[in-house]
């Protein structure tokens, strides 16, 4: 069983897209994908309309997702915690209890560009282009993550 958690700040723009995209690429029933935010500002809300729209353009439905805040118990629940940017990384690692927790946290773009520590930019205050750009980055990263999962199971 592989359990993957996608994390951003609000859990309404980037991580819901990452969750939806990865789910669309993984075939195994032995894999679960979820998402959360390090902030609680949008708890209970649906993804941002612009994330819903870019997902829909790519035949992915993320309308059933609901934002929730990252919790320390997520370290027990998930094998791998992908964060979008350095600030998410710091916020999640600040809650880690030990080295094992820390070892689960990874910048998602390091799957595409290993060790470069590149960030998926926060598109919240920008326009539709930002969401298209974020979608493309997450699609590439999730393709690589899914290939690994699909070849292991
Ligand atoms: P996300 O984007 O972290 O990709 O979900 C954001 C959404 C909301 C806010 C910031 C970032 N906010 O400040 O409300």
Q: Is the CB of 9 under 6 A from ligand 1?
A: yes
User: What band does 153 get if pLDDT is binned at 50, 70 and 90?
Assistant: low
Q: What is the pLDDT of residues 67-121, one digit of tens each?
A: 999 999 999 999 999 999 999 999 999 999 999 999 999 999 999 999 999 999 9
pLDDT given for residue 28 in this prediction = 79
- First CA to last CA across the chain, in angstroms? 9
18 lines ligand 1 (CB under 6 A): no
Q: What's this model's pTM, rounded to 2 decimal places? A: 0.98
133 Cα: distance to centroid of ligand 1 (angstroms): 16
Residue 91 CA to residue 72 CA, distance in Å, equals 11
Ligand 1 atom nearest 134 alpha carbon? 4
| Average pLDDT for the chain | 97
Residue 14 CB less than 6 A away from ligand 1: yes
Token representation of residue 97: 């209890």
Distance 15 CA to ligand 1 centre (A): 10
Candidate list 13, 50, 122, 142, residue with the active-site label:
122
Q: How far apart are CA 147 and CA 110, in angstroms?
A: 15
pLDDT in tens, 138-149: 999 999 999 999
User: Can 61 be counted among the known catalytic residues?
Assistant: no
pLDDT score at 7: 99
């Amino acid at each position: 069983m592989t359990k993957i958690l996608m994390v951003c700040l609000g859990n309404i723009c980037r991580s819901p897209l990452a969750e939806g995209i990865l789910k669309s690429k993984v075939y195994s029933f032995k894999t679960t994908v979820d998402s959360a935010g390090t902030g609680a500002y949008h708890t209970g809300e649906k993804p941002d309309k612009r994330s819903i729209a870019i997902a829909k353009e790519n035949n992915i439905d993320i309308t059933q997702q609901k934002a929730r805040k990252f919790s320390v118990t997520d370290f027990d629940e998930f094998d791998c915690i992908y964060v979008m940017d350095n600030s998410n990384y710091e916020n999640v690692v600040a809650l880690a209890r030990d080295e094992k927790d820390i070892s689960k946290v990874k910048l998602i773009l390091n799957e595409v560009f290993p060790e470069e520590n590149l960030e998926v930019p926060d598109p919240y205050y920008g326009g539709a282009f930002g969401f298209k750009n974020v979608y493309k980055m997450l699609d590439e990263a999730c393709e690589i993550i899914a290939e690994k999962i699909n070849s292991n199971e």
